[in-house]
Amino acid sequence: VKQGAVNGDAHKALSEIAFAFDIDGVLYQGSRPIPGAREMLRKIRAHDARYVFLTNGGGSHEDAKFRSLSKRLGMSEDEDVIRNRIILSHTPMRGWDEQMKKQGTVLITGSHPETARRVANEYGFERAVTPADIIEANDKVYPFDNLRESLHKESRPLPDGKIVSNTIDPYSKDVPANALKIDQILVWNDPRDWSLDIQVIHDLLISHRGYLGTISDKNGNSSLPNNGWQQDGQPPIWISNLDLLWKTEYPVNRFGTGAFVEALKGVWAASTGGAELQFSALGKPFRHTYQYAHDRLLNHRGQGDKKRPLKRVYMIGDNPESDIRGANEFAPDDGTQWISILVKTGVWKETAAQREPRYKPAVVVDDVVEAIAWAMRNEG
> What does DSSP assign to residue 322?
I
Q: How far apart are CA 260 and CA 4, in angstroms?
A: 43
Stretch that binds ligand G3P, among 18-26, 270-278, 296-304, 365-373 (CB under 6 A): 18-26
CB of 283: closest distance to ligand G3P in angstroms?
8
Exactly one of 136, 193, 318, 370 binds Mg ion (CB under 5 A); that residue is 318
Number of residues that bind Mg ion (CB under 5 A): 5
Contact stretch for ligand G3P (CB under 6 A) within 20-28, 153-161, 291-299, 362-370: 20-28
**Applying CB under 6 A, does 24 fall inside the site for ligand G3P?**
yes
| Residues that contact ligand G3P, how many (by CB under 6 A) | 14
Residue 204: exposure state from Cβ atoms within 10 A (0-12, 13-18, ≥19): buried
Using the contact rule CB under 6 A, the part of the chain among 8-16, 30-38, 238-246, 333-341 near ligand G3P is 238-246
Query: Which residue, 308, 317, 301, is CA-closest to 359?
Result: 317
210 vs 256, which CB is nearer to ligand G3P?
A: 256
DSSP one-letter string for 362-379: SEEESSHHHHHHHHHHHT
Query: 189 near 59, Cβ under 8 Å?
Result: yes
From the list 151-159, 240-248, 295-303, 365-373, the region that binds ligand G3P by CB under 6 A is: 240-248
Nearer to ligand G3P, 251 or 304 (CB): 251
Minimal CA–CA distance to 173: which of 124, 218, 112, 118? 218
Q: What's the CA gap between 271 and 206, in Å, rounded?
A: 10
* CA atoms of 92 and 270, how far apart (whole Å): 32
CB of 219 to Mg ion, least distance (A): 38
Instruction: Pick the stretch among 49-57, 63-71, 100-108, 140-148 that binds ligand G3P (CB under 6 A).
Output: 49-57
Spacing of C-alpha 356 from chain mean position: 26
- For Mg ion, the binding residues in 15-44 under the rule CB under 5 A are 22, 24-25
Q: How many CB atoms lie within 10 A of CB 153?
A: 10
Pairing of strands 337-343, 363-365: parallel
Residue 227 or 340: the one with the smaller Cβ distance to ligand G3P is: 340
Which residue lies nearer to Mg ion by CB, 89 or 109? Answer: 89
C-alpha distance from residue 217 to each of 1, 170, 214, 222, 241 (Å): 64, 10, 10, 12, 32
- Binding site partner of 321, from ligand G3P, Mg ion, none, Cβ cut-off 5-8 A by kind: none
User: Which residues from 253-312 bind ligand G3P, rule CB under 6 A?
Assistant: 256
Is 130 near ligand G3P (CB under 6 A)?
A: no
Residue (59 or 213) nearer to ligand G3P, CB: 59
Nearer to ligand G3P, 22 or 367 (CB): 22
Each residue of 298-318: b (16+ CB within 10 Å) or e? bebeeeeeeeeebebbbbbbb
- Shortest gap between Cβ of 169 and ligand G3P (angstroms)? 41
Q: Which of 123, 246, 260, 314 binds ligand G3P (CB under 6 A)?
A: 246
Distance of CA 171 to the CA centre of its chain: 35
Residue of 257, 236, 237, 233 whose CA lies nearest to 245: 257
Decide the pairing of beta strands 17-21 and 50-54: parallel
Query: Which residue number, 84 or 221, has a Cβ lying nearer to ligand G3P?
Result: 84
Q: Is 22 in the site for ligand G3P (CB under 6 A)?
A: yes
Determine if 367 is a binding residue for Mg ion (CB under 5 A). Answer: no
- Interface pattern 309-328 for ligand G3P (x via CB under 6 A): ----------x---------
Residue 25 engages ligand G3P in binding (rule: CB under 6 A): yes
Question: b/e string for 113-140 if b means 16 or more Cβ within 10 A?
Answer: bebbbebbeebbbebbbbbbbbbbbbee
Query: Which residues pair with residue 52 across a beta bridge?
Result: 20
* Chain residues in the site for ligand G3P (CB under 6 A): 22-25, 55-57, 189-190, 241, 243, 246, 256, 319
* Chain residues in the site for Mg ion (CB under 5 A): 22, 24-25, 318-319
